[in-house]
Amino acid sequence: MKPRTTSIPSIPLHSPFYATDNAYEGDCLGLSVLLELPEDAVRAVLAPTPFDFVTSHAWVEFYTFPTLTGFSPYNDTFGDQYAVFGVVVPASYGGVHGGYYAHCYKNKDFSASMGREMAGFPVKAAEVHVQKTGRAMTGRVACPTARYEASVIVGDESVADPAFAVRNPTLLLHVIADVEAPDSVLLEQVISRDVSQSSDLTAVEAEPAVNYRPAPSEIDDLSWLEAGRPVHADFFSGRFRGALGRVLATTEVSPRLLDRVAAIKA
């Protein structure tokens, strides 16, 4: 078997989208809003996953990087700076409490590729714009299947997450399809990733406002957030650093993959 000629496990190897697997960092700022939601809406989001229900709440977050190094294989100066919109649902798996990343939208292809390939973030491409002017910070996301807006007025008191609405570490469901069989899984695993431990971010209180807008297509990923009522918010900033994940469990493996592994070991 020929050895790999690159150290980046990107798909495909000859044309990597990203420059690293975890050694990226930058100055980061963002807003987070905790929504109270109907319990059945949250349970419906968790239903197709192995994660257990914790509370009828979800976090929506916008963040951006004024500086970012080590992520893109080129000097990224095109368009808006790298920005993200995410929806994080407090959940648990095997006694580990964290935040299931239910939705993720990014405005750069290199970050979308790494998040999906490596860790199982449900990244989709979208227009994501985040702006801070004085004490006001706004974020908006728009694509065929999602539109959402949030804003905060930044305070000056330090604030901690409500104890019932845990969001770190991030819980992810990483699924690789089987190329040889329709509607089949080659490998499925549950991953925990905790950038709160690798980063130096601080949060202060904020006064929130949110605005769900119907998606322009027949599919609306965020319709379950329409009834969300803001109950907590913060503005966070500081140095963000990437982190590797930790596999909590392998929940499905194709027999064909196991046969191939056995043949390699033989």
233: CB partners within 8 A, 6+ apart: 31, 32, 33, 34, 152, 205, 206, 207, 208
Is there a domain that residue 31 lies in? yes
Structure tokens at 170: 């991030």
Is there a domain that residue 144 lies in? yes
pLDDT at 63: 97
Structure tokens at 64: 């951006």
Is there a domain that residue 30 lies in? yes
Asked whether 32 and 234 are in contact (CB, 8 A), the reply is yes
Is there a domain that residue 13 lies in? no
Is there a domain that residue 18 lies in? no
Query: 4 pLDDT exceeds 70?
Result: no
Phi, psi of 262 (to 5 degrees): -65, -40
CATH number at 128 reads 2.40.400.10
Of residues 96, 72, 99, 76, the one with CA closest to residue 86: 99
**Burial letters for 238-255: b for 16+ Cβ neighbours within 10 Å, e otherwise?**
eebbbbebeebeebeebe
pLDDT-based confidence at residue 7 (cuts at 50, 70, 90): low
Mean pLDDT computed over every residue of the chain? 93
Is there a domain that residue 121 lies in? yes
102: CB partners within 8 A, 6+ apart: 45, 58, 87, 88, 89, 122
pLDDT-based confidence at residue 139 (cuts at 50, 70, 90): very high
- What one-letter code names the amino acid at 131? Q
Instruction: Write down the pTM of the prediction.
Output: 0.94
Asked whether 62 and 82 are in contact (CB, 8 A), the reply is no
pLDDT digits (tens, 9 = 90+) for 171-194: 999 999 999 888 999 999 999 999
Is there a domain that residue 78 lies in? yes
Asked whether 227 and 212 are in contact (CB, 8 A), the reply is no
Is there a domain that residue 1 lies in? no
Q: Measured between alpha carbons, how far is 32 from 23 in angstroms, rounded to an integer? A: 24
- What one-letter code names the amino acid at 103? H
Query: 112 pLDDT exceeds 60?
Result: yes
Give residue 200's domain range: 25-175+191-244
Asked whether 101 and 172 are in contact (CB, 8 A), the reply is yes
Asked whether 166 and 192 are in contact (CB, 8 A), the reply is no
Of residues 203, 206, 169, 193, the one with CA closest to residue 242: 193
pLDDT at 19: 80
Query: 111 pLDDT exceeds 60?
Result: yes
How many structural domains are present in the chain?
Answer: 1
pLDDT digits (tens, 9 = 90+) for 237-247: 999 999 999 99
Q: Measured between alpha carbons, how far is 260 from 212 in angstroms, rounded to an integer? A: 47
